[in-house]
Amino acid sequence: MNKKYDDAQIEELAVAELKKYGLYELPIDVHRLARYKNATIYTADFEDKSISGMISKKGKSYSIYVNREHSATRNQFTIAHELGHLILGHLDGDRQSITDEQLNMYRRDYTNDDERRLEVEANKFAAALLMPTEFVIQVWNECEGDLEAMARRFRVSEAAMGYRADHVDRRG
């Protein structure tokens, strides 16, 4: 059983990883973070078109696969999500890979509670990694809450930006 993380721990861990590698600036460079974490990113043609991505490990190396047919912003989130699995230790122990059929914050069709927890944690990590709270507050004020402009600054989808903005205390 993997360690369970609360929202504050996930936020702290995401920011700590960015700062550790000198990546705490917009837009977040998930490709560089992946390299620092010994993960290689590949685009893939998945037979099942609903698959967003997957991560697998071999020894101390990781491979992240993203769906070639998905948008750049979707793949950005997928990479951050897969890095979440890696950094949160979801691949520790016997688990060799995780395939993500949907990266949807509202997904409800998990096969078990542990799978659901891992996916929710990875989604929260991806959001915190790509859209750190401090930057969300700063850019919210600069863009006067214009989600389209904010999404461009963070290089994420408007939907992801809207979700994140709704879940960050912007009074900072």
pLDDT of residue 90 exceeding 70: yes
Looking at the predicted structure, is the pLDDT value of residue 100 above 80? no
Q: Are 125 and 159 in contact (CB under 8 A)?
A: no
Per-residue pLDDT at 141 = 94
For range 6-12, the mean pLDDT: 96
98 or 12: which leads in pLDDT: 12
CA nearest to 161, candidates 138, 145, 141, 142: 145
Residues in the chain: 172
Question: Is the confidence at residue 102, as pLDDT, over 90?
Answer: no
Q: Is pLDDT of 132 > 50? A: yes
What element of type H or E holds 39? strand 39-44
pLDDT at 52 over 50: yes
Domain definitions of the chain by residue range: 7-130
What number does CATH give the domain 7-130?
A: 1.10.10.2910
Contacts of 39 (CB under 8 A, 6+ apart): 55, 61, 62, 63, 64, 82, 83, 86
The answer to whether 38 touches 59, Cβ cutoff 8 Å, is: no
What pLDDT was estimated at residue 99?
A: 80
Which residues are 66's β-sheet partners? 43, 53
pLDDT at residue 107 in the model: 45
Q: Which residues contact 85 (CB under 8 A, 6 or more apart)?
A: 55, 91, 98, 118, 122
Tokens 């990266």, located at residue: 103
Query: How buried is 3 (Cβ within 10 angstroms: 0-12 exposed, 13-18 middle, 19+ buried)?
Result: exposed
pLDDT of residue 104: 44
Q: Report the pLDDT value the prediction gives residue 134, as an integer from 0 to 100.
A: 96
Tokens read off for 42: 């590949």
**Percent of the chain whose predicted confidence (pLDDT) is above 70:** 91
93: pLDDT confidence band, cut at 50, 70 and 90? confident
- C-alpha radius of gyration, the chain, whole number: 15
